[in-house]
Structure 1
Amino acid sequence: MTYICSFSLIYTEKVSNVSLIGPKELLIEGNSSANITSEGTGTITSVEWIKDNSPLSPSNRIIFSPDNRSVSISPVQKSDNGEYQCTYRNPVSSEMAKLPLIINYGPEDVSINGPDVVDLGVSVSLSCSAKSIPSASFSWRFNGTDTNVTTDTFTIAETDFTHSGDYECTASNNVTKRSNSQRHALLVKVGGGGGGGGLTTGAIVGIVIGVLVVVAGICGLIVYLTKTKKIPNLTLHKNGRASGAPASQSRQQPELNYADISHFQKAGGERVILGSSSEPSTEYAEVNPGAKSKAPPPPYGSQVSNPPLRR
């Protein structure tokens, strides 16, 4: 009996010379397309694509060739920025190649960082920023007029009232040919000294409100004490007694009213002058309305003498 043995020899060539070929032109977000092609030698059994250490998956913008050796991205977006990696494999070897892809975009999200209100005579800096590839260039306008400042920072060495107004920063990208602007209002006021130590408008309002509350509290306390008779009411009545004085005190200490009786007139119309004509004297009598006399007055003749009648 004859036995026949047959076998086949499969030769696997080691993978080598793997490389990636990308676009030569500048890529602009939303306008450009990118094609990345891989090359290599040896026996290739699989091709794997990775972007920024994560598998690159197909989408409506990302399309792979049938043999998986090239990828097309259209249109490119800023999220396509990153490092692309392609790996060739076979059972005995593997090799990888990398390619950075740069997508130019922007500027966008322009913002100005700086104070809104500053004191008179201080130094102020306004800083402008924007997201952009490549980095944006900047220009500044003040109240619509060019300032010739082309840096990302606008500096005022010493503020005065003419520096109040609108500051506009324009960011430009010389690759995308796009620009974007942002405005910032600055108010220069009289403050409490250098370095921005002045009171803000909110602090001033708070102080005013606090003072008004204290004044209102004091007025309310005075009214309360007056009504509860802890503070005497100084309003005088016609009889000269303080309104807050008790009625019993008025009765105990009656007020005395004096009448000038230096002369009087008889019923017939004749005027009688009391006392000496050369040294007139005035006698006073105690008058207490509504009170009974404790003692009768002395006889009239004992006090004054009748002078001779004058006709």
Structure 2
Amino acid sequence: MGSVWVSATLALLWLLWRGPAGALELNLSDQAMLEKAQGDKVTLPCQFTVSSTDIGQLSIDWVLSGSADNDRTILMFSEGKVYEQDEALKNRAYFTSPDPTSGDASMEIANLKSSDSGTYQCTVRKAPSMQMKKIILNVLVKPTDTKCHIHGAQEIGSDIKLMCASKEGTPPLTYTWEKITGTQRLPATATADLSSGVLTMKNASQEYSGTYRCSVQNRVGTDECFLMLNVVPPSNTAGAIAGAVIGTLLGLVLLSVLIFCCCRKQKEKKYEKEVPHEIREDVAPPKSRTSTVHSYIGSNRSSLGSMSPSNMEGYSKTLYNKVPAEELERPPSHAPAKVAAPNLSRMGAVPVMIPAQSKDGSIV
């Protein structure tokens, strides 16, 4: 009797240790870590089985645990309905089975983004049982927008580097160079850095010319670029430098001449503005003899009207005696022109009656 009681007790303890999840089972053989490329889609598996002892309502939860320890509920199935919870994955995450109660709670995510990386947990509840499963998803970015270019002079004897780099791509990235024309072999002096994408070639020759291809890849994709290398004889750099120097000197000389001319012209304009024009009269003009005689005679006209014939003779002699000798001795060609009587009246002259005289000067 005692042995039966011990056996019953052990069986009860085993059931209690197994817990309520003993009847509901999840398939844990699926891969627990997945890697996918950005833009692809992925299916996170979560299959389960229930027993007749699980009589409660079935509910399913998909939760994303990010690096910030913020749990985000992606999908929920409860009471026969599906609920989308996370805005970032809305319309991109959904159950793969139209009826999750059939035993398939797997979730598919389309158009993957790098932000979708994280740990996803599938939880299935059917009272009194509950089971959960975790899957780690890494969303990687393929190498894209790969560019090639040449560093160094494409001349015989020069050292040339072929550069290759992808704008995007989740590391680690691996670069590979190959020549696809001519001998289709890389030069003997070529050394490639697989991690940086640099192909170095020493002492280049014309045999190095051709088309080269760079391929870059990571765990989820590949990309490539092409370039054309044309190695030519070195140019006459000494002549080019001498020509450049001479041209520069000539340009400086011409510029100096222009500056000098402009400054000189500016100074001349400034001088013309500051110094006024002066008209100097070095020698006074000679006095007119005619005007002297006229002024002398005109000054004595007024006295003629008051003279009587008795004293006219004496006055006439005195008048003519006072005329300057230089006026009397002037040649006839310089004698003043005669003015008509009407013109004299208009000029303001006063008519004077002079008595007639004989040849010897006596009054008749």
The structure richer in strand per residue is 1
Please, what TM-score do these two structures have when normalized by structure 1? 0.42
| Higher gyration radius (CA) | 2
The structure richer in helix per residue is 2
